[in-house]
Structure 1
């Protein structure tokens, strides 16, 4: 083998070694590590939390669904997607001090609650009131999976980069993120159908109640009601 061939071989080996080192550095740099620091930032400023069928089934099994019901809301996004959300508590305002949490929730647009705290987080005691039954979304935060790729939904989360995550921990977190994606898809398929069924049943129930009320009215009261309807139509 000539000196030129030796030089070319050495050059190729060196290039391969450098390329391998760069790949190892890039792999090490991009490795995802996470350990919750219990800073509570995600509980205080998370905003609306998506709820899945998995969550509803868990709460039903454990008999705690009543704790969540006051804060659940069906929300239709601009793209037509229907989500079930755990709606945050609005910040206290002077004009809302005498209103109940339920009234405040109903009157506050979802868009105004994007940075508000979870309604089931106790700020004074710095603890989640339903930790053992926390939603699936909280269990995988800040890791997200869109069906193809993993991503970080909160790059400022203090837990990112913390040491102590084992391979088993990483696998569990990724599996949970995948499960979240699956369960979110499942409830988005079911919600529109369930919403229609519930709405229809509510309307049927209201009609039945109206018919029962009408049947119990006296002829005089029924005539008064008809006069009111005629008067209202005449004013239009």
Structure 2
């Protein structure tokens, strides 16, 4: 009788519970990507970070740098990044920027749905949408419709991962190098400015002082309400 009562008290396992214990944990889905040429990543995006390697390549291509340079601007990184507070790094600036700070890449041809500088695109674009943060890989834009599509070979995946690591390392090196470079440029231009002032005659110095004083007074004048 005691054995019968014990058997009744034992919990009967459901098929689901049995399956959960016997089946091994599922492996994360393999990363796959195939560009669908939808243009979303080129038309609604933040500014594109540029590295010294990108700049060197474009400079070696001669006049091509003149095409890209008008769209470059130095900007700071995230305010949460201590290094970013000190360094200004080059970016490709977007056009038609909305209230969220996103816009269209100036090199994207929306009529033909293609990049006009595809053969020499920045490393940041080359690795999209796979990114690397120094510890692990991640998708920089999970909404990209090309993720999960196509047949990605082992070799293609390795190449994408290598490009993601390269992008991370090149951007880190560029940011670090920009800190002392900015100091050198500032010191150089201050020295040149001082040399220019030293070459002025006393009369020219007085005229310069008057211009500076006038400019300062005008900037301090209260603005009338319209």
SS in structure 2 opposite 1:73?
strand
Over residues 65-99 of structure 1, what are the superposed CA-to-partner deviations in whole Å (9 max), with x where a residue is unaligned? 222212222222323413321111235xxxxxxxx
Give the TM-score normalised by the residue count of structure 1: 0.71
Where do residues 216-227 of structure 1 align in structure 2 (5 Å cutoff)?
221-222=203-204, 225=207
Q: Partners in 2 of 1:210 and 1:133 — Cα distance?
A: 43
Q: 1:139 to 1:210 in 2, by over 3 A?
A: same
Q: Partners in 2 of 1:62 and 1:231 — Cα distance?
A: 46
Q: Partners in 1 of 2:94 and 2:19 — Cα distance?
A: 55
- Residue in 2 that maps onto 1:86: 92
Over residues 166-187 of structure 1, what are the superposed CA-to-partner deviations in whole Å (9 max), with x where a residue is unaligned? 1111110000001011101100
Size of the aligned set, in residue pairs, is 192
Q: Partners in 2 of 1:192 and 1:227 — Cα distance?
A: 33
Unmatched runs of 5 consecutive residues or more in structure 1: 1-13, 92-110
Does residue 210 of the first structure (1) align with residue 213 of the second (2)? no
Q: 1:177 to 1:210 in 2, by over 3 A?
A: same
Q: Partners in 1 of 2:75 and 2:156 — Cα distance?
A: 33
- Residue in 2 that maps onto 1:185: 172
Q: 1:75 to 1:16 in 2, by over 3 A?
A: same
Does residue 164 of the first structure (1) align with residue 151 of the second (2)? yes
Root mean square deviation of aligned Cα: 2.9
Give the TM-score normalised by the residue count of structure 2: 0.73
- Residue in 2 that maps onto 1:41: 40
- Residue in 2 that maps onto 1:32: 31
Q: Give the deviation of 1:188 after TM superposition.
A: 0.9
Unmatched runs of 5 consecutive residues or more in structure 2: 1-17, 221-226
SS in structure 2 opposite 1:119?
coil
- Residue in 2 that maps onto 1:105: none
- Residue in 1 that maps onto 2:23: 19
Q: Partners in 2 of 1:135 and 1:166 — Cα distance?
A: 23
Is contact 2:126-2:163 (8 Å) kept? yes
Over residues 123-169 of structure 1, what are the superposed CA-to-partner deviations in whole Å (9 max), with x where a residue is unaligned? 23332111111100000111110111111111110110102211111
Is contact 1:48-1:113 (8 Å) kept? no
Q: Partners in 1 of 2:181 and 2:140 — Cα distance?
A: 29
Q: Partners in 2 of 1:40 and 1:32 — Cα distance?
A: 21
Q: Give the deviation of 1:196 after TM superposition.
A: 1.6
Is contact 2:95-2:105 (8 Å) kept? yes
